[in-house]
Amino acid sequence: MTKALEVENLTKEFKGLTAVDGISFAMEKGETVGLLGPNGAGKTTTIQMLLGVIKPDRGSIKIFNRDLEKKQSEILEKVNFSSTYISFPWRLTVRESLSVFAKLYNVKNWKEKANQLMAMLEIEHLKNKGFFKLSSGERTRVFLVKALLNDPALLLLDEPTASLDPDISEKIRKMILKIKKTRQNYYFIHLSQYGGGRGGLRQNNFLVKRKNCSSGNSQKSKRNSA
């Protein structure tokens, strides 16, 4: 089966502190994967390496059978990312911010795509509103519009419902599930502190610890080769 993602012996250190210690995992075509673990386990650092934001000290990353280090620009055109921990320029409107990202990803007909996505996520009324005026739930939905704007083949979600009220969190989860059903060509990696199949967002889980990475599901887990 074709692998969308292969990570081998990925390691990252910061001033003598090992943030990610030799983890390995793979993502088959059509899978939705969850990286689970407590704060400080290295989940976000792993995602930053998958996005090419930081370079691993050791190990390799292949996305769609291409080496990330050698084909970074080509690969990242088909990847996007959403998180409650990021931000947009506060003084720009939602539409202005989306126009910036559309240019970065060379998205054609971006206004039409943005309007469709905002309608799907029920935030059309926010397009001319300054980002600093948005609530946490509204910002999360704007981040999802940004993440979907370039029709990514691989979508990375870093705790997309963290710090949100329970009712807003449930609404965001339902929206992500709707996106999964309507855009079946997407691959998802979802980061969370929670185990099991919370919200139905994951098919397969990898438990990330400071010294290893285990794979399996909520019923059964086995030690990865890392």
- What CATH number does the domain containing 28 carry? 3.40.50.300
Residue 190 lies in a domain: yes
User: What's the rounded Cα separation, in Å, for the pair 63 and 41?
Assistant: 23
> What is residue 1's predicted lDDT score, i.e. its pLDDT?
55
d(CA 205, CA 218): 8
Query: Is residue 218 domain-resident?
Result: yes
Position of tokens 């397969």?
204
Cα angle 82-40-65, degrees, rounded to a multiple of 5: 50
Q: Which domain holds residue 53?
A: 1-78+153-161+184-226
Instruction: Domain count for the chain, please give it.
Output: 1
Please check whether residue 14 is in contact with residue 40, taking contact to mean a CB–CB distance below 8 angstroms.
Answer: no
226 residues of the chain, pLDDT tens digit each = 567 889 999 999 998 888 898 888 888 766 777 777 777 788 888 889 999 999 999 999 999 899 999 999 899 988 999 887 788 988 999 999 999 999 999 998 999 999 999 998 889 999 999 999 998 888 988 998 999 899 888 888 887 777 677 877 787 778 777 777 776 666 767 665 554 444 544 455 555 555 445 454 433 333 333 3
Domain membership of residue 166 (yes or no) is: no
Q: Is residue 145 part of a domain?
A: no
Assigned domain for 36 exists: yes
Residues 90 and 130: beta-carbon distance below 8 Å: yes
Sign of CA dihedral 150, 155, 159, 162: positive
Q: How far is 4 from 144, CA to CA, in rounded Å?
A: 21
The answer to whether 183 and 117 have CB atoms below 8 angstroms apart is no
Confirm whether 51 is domain-assigned: yes
**3-class DSSP string for 11-30:** EEEECCEEEEEEEEEEEECC
In angstroms, what is the C-alpha Rg of the chain? 17
Residue 215 confidence (pLDDT): 52
pTM: 0.78
The reported pLDDT for the residue numbered 160 is 76
N- to C-terminal Cα separation, the chain: 21
